[in-house]
C-alpha cells in the first residue's frame, strides 16, 4: 500500500510540475545560452583519454584486488560498491587534474589558462535545490513511462527469441537483496552523493559543454546523453538513462549552475532507492 501511495504522489506531483514547467517555458524570455567549453582538440582528447584510463583503470584495479571476495560471504556484498567507488574516483581525478589549477601543474600538458566555471550563474542553496527538486519531479513521470515502454519492448523481443539482457544494474540488484546495513548505507552514499557529483561534472559540465562548442546544442545533448547511458553498461536502463541525460542537460542549460543537475540527479537516484525499499517491504509481506 505504501508503495502505491508513494507512486501516485510522485506521479501527480510530477505531472503538475511538468505542466507548470511547460507553461513557464512558453512565457519566460530566452536566457543567454550556457557558455561552451572552448578547449582545443588536444586538451579535449587529453580529457577523454584520462577519463577512460582512470575510470577503467581504478575500477579494474579494485576489481582485481577484490577478486577473492567472491568466495567470502561477508566480503562478497562489498565488492560491487568498492569497484563502483574506484571508477567514480577515476572520473573525479580526471576533472581535478584538468580543471583545478593545483592539479594542472602536476601534469606536463601545458595548456593556456582559461577562465572556465562549471556554474556561470551563481545560485543560493535554496534556489538550486528548488530547481533541482522541481526538475526531478517533473521528469519522473516521463522517465517512468519511457522506462516501462522500453522494458515492454525488450520483453517482446525476448519472447520473439532474441537474447536480451533484462538484468538490472549491479548496484540496484545488490540493494534489492539483503546485503547488510553498512553495505546499503555505502550504496546510498554512492548513488545519492558520489555519482551525481562526478557524473554531472564529467557528462554535463565538461562533455556537453565541449560538444556544444563544436555542434548544435541539441546534437551535444544527444551525444553526451548517449555516452552517459552507455557508461552504465545496462540495456534495461539504457533508454531511461538516455532520457535522464537529456533532461539533465536541459536543467543545466536553463539554470547555468552545475549544482542544479547534481541535485536533480541525486534526487532521481534517491527516488529509485526509495522505490526499491518500499518494493522489498511489499515482497516481505506474507
In a domain, 59, yes or no: no
Encode pLDDT of 238-274 as tens digits: 999 999 999 999 999 989 999 999 999 999 999 888 8
In a domain, 84, yes or no: no
Tell me the C-alpha distance between 209 and 119, whole Å. Answer: 12
Encode pLDDT of 158-217 as tens digits: 888 878 777 777 666 666 665 678 888 888 899 999 999 999 999 999 999 999 988 998
* Domain interval for residue 11: 2-48+92-110+120-284
In a domain, 66, yes or no: no
Tell me the C-alpha distance between 172 and 169, whole Å. Answer: 5
Burial 88-127 (b: 16+ CB within 10 A, else e): bbbbbbbbebbbeeeeeeeeeeeeeeeeeebeeeebeeee
Quick one: three-class SS letters along the chain?
CHHHHHHHHHHHHHHHHHHHHHHHHHHCCCCCCCCCCCCCHHHHHHHHHHHHHHHHHHHHHHHHHCHHHHHCCCCHHHHHHHHHHHHHHHHHHHHHHHHCHHHHCCCCCCCCCCCCCCCCCCCCHHHHHHHHHHHHHHHHHHHHHHHHHHHHHHHHHHHCCCCCCCCCCHHHHHHHCCCCHHHHHHHHHHHHHHHHHHHHHHHHHHHHHHHHCCCCHHHHHHHHHHHHHHHCCCHHHHHHHHHHHHHHHHHHHHHCCCHHHHHHHHHHHHHHHHHHHHHHHHHHCC
Quick one: what percent of the chain has pLDDT higher than 90? Answer: 33
pTM score, two decimals? 0.87
Q: Which of 32, 37, 30, 39 is nearest to 212 (CA)?
A: 37
In a domain, 30, yes or no: yes
Name the packing angle between helices 125-159 and 235-255 (round to 10°): 150
In a domain, 71, yes or no: no
Encode pLDDT of 61-74 as tens digits: 999 999 999 888 88
Tell me the C-alpha distance between 261 and 253, whole Å. Answer: 9
Q: What is the pLDDT of residue 286?
A: 43
Q: Which of 27, 6, 226, 243 is nearest to 135 (CA)?
A: 243
Report how many domains make up the chain.
1
Amino acid at each position: 500500500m505504501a508503495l502505491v501511495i508513494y507512486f501516485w504522489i510522485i506521479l501527480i506531483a510530477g505531472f503538475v510540475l511538468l505542466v507548470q514547467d511547460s507553461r513557464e517555458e512558453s512565457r519566460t524570455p530566452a536566457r543567454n545560452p550556457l557558455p561552451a567549453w572552448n578547449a582545443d582538440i588536444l586538451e579535449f582528447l587529453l580529457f577523454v583519454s584520462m577519463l577512460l584510463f582512470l575510470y577503467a583503470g581504478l575500477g579494474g584495479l579494485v576489481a582485481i584486488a577484490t577478486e577473492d571476495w567472491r568466495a567470502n560471504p561477508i566480503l562478497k556484498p562489498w565488492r560491487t560498491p568498492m569497484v563502483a567507488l574506484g571508477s567514480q574516483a577515476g572520473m573525479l581525478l580526471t576533472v581535478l587534474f584538468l580543471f583545478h589549477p593545483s592539479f594542472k601543474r602536476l601534469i606536463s600538458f601545458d595548456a593556456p589558462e582559461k577562465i572556465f566555471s562549471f556554474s556561470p550563474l551563481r545560485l543560493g542553496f535554496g534556489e538550486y535545490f528548488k530547481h533541482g527538486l522541481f526538475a526531478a519531479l517533473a521528469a519522473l513521470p516521463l522517465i517512468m513511462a519511457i522506462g516501462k515502454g522500453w522494458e515492454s519492448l525488450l520483453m517482446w523481443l525476448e519472447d520473439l527469441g532474441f537474447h536480451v539482457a533484462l538484468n538490472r544494474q549491479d548496484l540496484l540488484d545488490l540493494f534489492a537483496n539483503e546485503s547488510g546495513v553498512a553495505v546499503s548505507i555505502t550504496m546510498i552514499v554512492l548513488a545519492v552523493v558520489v555519482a551525481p557529483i562526478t557524473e554531472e561534472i564529467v557528462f554535463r559540465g565538461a562533455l556537453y559543454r565541449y560538444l556544444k562548442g563544436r555542434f548544435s546544442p541539441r546534437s551535444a545533448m544527444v551525444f553526451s546523453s548517449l555516452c552517459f547511458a552507455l557508461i552504465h553498461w545496462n540495456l534495461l536502463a539504457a533508454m531511461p538513462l538516455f532520457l535522464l541525460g537529456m533532461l539533465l542537460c536541459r536543467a543545466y542549460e536553463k539554470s547555468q549552475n552545475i549544482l542544479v543537475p547534481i541535485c536533480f540527479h541525486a534526487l532521481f537516484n534517491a527516488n529509485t532507492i526509495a522505490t526499491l525499499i518500499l518494493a522489498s517491504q511489499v515482497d516481505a509481506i506474507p
